[in-house]
Amino acid sequence: MRSAREGRILQSGLAGIKFAASAVLLSGLLASIGQVNAADLSLAITGNLVGSVMDGTGTPQMGATVQLLNKYQRVLAKAITQSDGRFVFEGLPLDTYAVRVSQPSFLPAFRDSITIKPGTDSILRIHMATLFSNIQVSYKIPSGAMTNDWKWALRTSAPTRPVTRWLPELKPQRTRETGPRTQIFSDTHAMLRLNGGDAGMIDTGSATSDLGSIFALSTNVFGKNQVQIAGSFGQNSDFLPTMRGIAAVYQRNADNPFMNAPEVTLTVSQFSRFGPQLSGPGQMSGLRVMALDLYQVSDPIDNVHIEYGVSGQSVSYLQESARISPFARATITLNPDSQLVAAYSDGSRPDSLISHSPLAMDETFSPSSELSSAVNALGRLPLMASRNNRLVLQRTQSYELGYSRKVGSRTYAVSGFHEQVWNGQLNLSGNTSLVDQGNLLFDGMSKTSTYDVGNYVRTGYAGSVTQRISDNMDFGVAFGRMGGFAADPSHMVSSSQVALPMGLHDVAGAKFRASIPGSGTKLSAGYGWVDSGSFVPTHVFVTQNNIVSPGLNFRFQQPIPTLFGFPGHMEITADLRNLLAQGYIPVGPAGAGQLLVVQSPRAIRGGLNFTF
């Protein structure tokens, strides 16, 4: 008995010794873990974007403006390069971004799909040139020993600059001579454009005269207020002034670059000669248009991006007509390569959604990122028609849903829409005396007249595939079915009305865009096809890059050397729409006095741009 009791006591003692040893070992492990650097245990959830800007010879460029944009083409932050041409954006959330760089005397450089990786430096090598600029991207993980790039990033970053040196008794004092000063105007750019060619208004929804000029100015007021101002002046072949307009775009830059700031666009245009003669030679009625657009964005939760706003328009021609048009678009990022987009608009075209869409933006032909918003606003006009001799505005209530997925260098997209239209339009040419003149509107400049066909409802869908061949070249095709009018000679014009049945019709298109290195030539070519004998009103998609423009279309942009050593750069442009004059559909009795329904009028325009 005694030996058994002693054995149990001995066994208990051994167990106690093992427990004490385990406790000591665990304490030692915890102590050793506590001595480990916190950086070795933390998980990086941000990355950095550093880069340098230089010219073609490798000389650093001081004072270049670098804009950081998110994947929705929204400007998040700006940086100005230092004397060594470098810049830095620190602590960026993991996502894909874009960078736009501008510098006087050079063409702007743009690069999208820049991925920010955790704990990684995304390094940009930006080469500016008068004919061709490019951006190269590489990635580097900071090592334990600081690299020169990382040391430079810490030294030039405002949040970390105070810890790079320590002056214990130094109390900085602001004086009139040495205190920091905020420049009233900074990042100032300007552009002058001279253009001419075929005029048009109501048949294209834009304002173009035979001869015209546009001047645009962009500046930053007190470092936080981005302002763009553009003005236009146009005249017809009789050299009398017909068009004058001014547009202003204002955006407040928040202290936190990731906070949303509203954008306000105001446009005022006056057309001194609009419509047919009223009484006596040279007496015309003028048209005045004023538009105010408010655009805002919000990111309520992760992977959800919402754009919304309202547009107010007022048109005066013989009488006043005004309306308010709300719009909204929600983008849900399902994964890094796919997204779901839903959009709604009621009233006018959602121009703000179109101009802020990364899928619809044509960066290839943007005159300048700082100037394009105001310049594009100048050319916008509401869709107008005449109903019983009264000016009316076309109203469109649209619902649209789209899905896109990126697979390598290829992007697939599909979208569907449902819309109801009030006071819809047809472009007519030829013998327009066959239709009711009270529903016919002619602006005095366009090649066609607009006929009010009343109200209709239609649906449609389209799919597209875009292949990026290189950073400077891409190609895309699209196909779909959309509601349109069947316009064939069997549908005669009777009782002063154009009776065209509505149905689904096939549409298809192809587009090619390229920037040629060395020469700086930019080319865009597209071809659009619509079912024979049908008129399909254009639907501008806001959920994918798919606009089928009928006929053969070309856009061309070529930089040329500046004269007399002036700063800035010059370029010539050409825009050819429906070059083969396709889609002119006869309706009614055949003969010289036949009426034609025009899908898209042919137009040829050219211009000279000077940016400084």
* pLDDT digit string, tens, across residues 533-550: 888 888 889 998 776 778
Q: Quick one: 472 and 581 in the same domain? A: yes
* C-alpha distances out from residue 499 to 91, 161, 455, 458, Å: 62, 73, 13, 17
pLDDT confidence of residue 531: 87
pLDDT band at 588; cut points 50, 70, 90 = low
Nearest to 578 by CA among 539, 608, 538, 541: 538
CATH code for the domain of 488: 2.40.160
pTM for the predicted model, two decimal places: 0.75
Range with lowest mean pLDDT among 39-53, 81-95, 515-529, 591-605:
39-53
Rounded average pLDDT over 316-320: 83
Chain-centroid distance, C-alpha 476: 18
Q: Quick one: 289 and 363 in the same domain? A: yes
Q: Quick one: 143 and 217 in the same domain? A: no
Of 128, 162, 196, the one marking the end of a domain is: 162
CATH code for the domain of 86: 2.60.40.10
Query: Which residues form the domain of 427?
Result: 185-611
Residue whose tokens read 């005396």: 433
Q: Quick one: 534 and 575 in the same domain? A: yes
Q: Is residue 34 included in any domain, yes or no?
A: no
Domain count, the chain: 2
Q: Is residue 19 included in any domain, yes or no?
A: no
Cross-strand bridge partners of residue 340: 332, 403
Q: How far apart are CA 509 and CA 553, in angstroms?
A: 11
* pLDDT digit string, tens, across residues 452-504: 888 999 999 999 999 988 878 889 999 999 999 886 555 545 444 556 788 89
Q: How confident is the prediction for the chain on average, in pLDDT?
A: 77
Q: Quick one: 503 and 592 in the same domain? A: yes
Q: Quick one: 92 and 219 in the same domain? A: no
Most confident region among 35-49, 116-130, 418-432 by mean pLDDT: 418-432
Q: Is residue 498 included in any domain, yes or no?
A: yes
* C-alpha distances out from residue 259 to 74, 88, 157, Å: 11, 19, 20
Q: Quick one: 55 and 193 in the same domain? A: no
Higher pLDDT, 256 or 412: 412
Q: How far apart are CA 95 and CA 333, in angstroms?
A: 11
pLDDT confidence of residue 340: 96
Find the radius of gyration of the CA atoms of the chain.
Answer: 31
Reduce the DSSP state of residue 142 to 3 states and report it: coil
Residue 17, CB-side half-sphere exposure with 13 Å CA sphere = 6
pLDDT at 412 over 80: yes
Q: Quick one: 338 and 445 in the same domain? A: yes
Contact partners, residue 525, CB within 8 Å, separation at least 6: 511, 512, 513, 552, 553, 554, 555
Pairing of strands 395-407, 410-430: antiparallel
pLDDT confidence of residue 118: 82
Reduce the DSSP state of residue 12 to 3 states and report it: helix
The answer to whether 110 and 369 are in contact (CB under 8 A) is yes
Give the H or E element holding residue 494. Answer: strand 493-494
* C-alpha distances out from residue 137 to 77, 100, 140, Å: 19, 13, 10
Give the H or E element holding residue 363. Answer: none
* pLDDT digit string, tens, across residues 171-186: 444 444 444 455 787 7
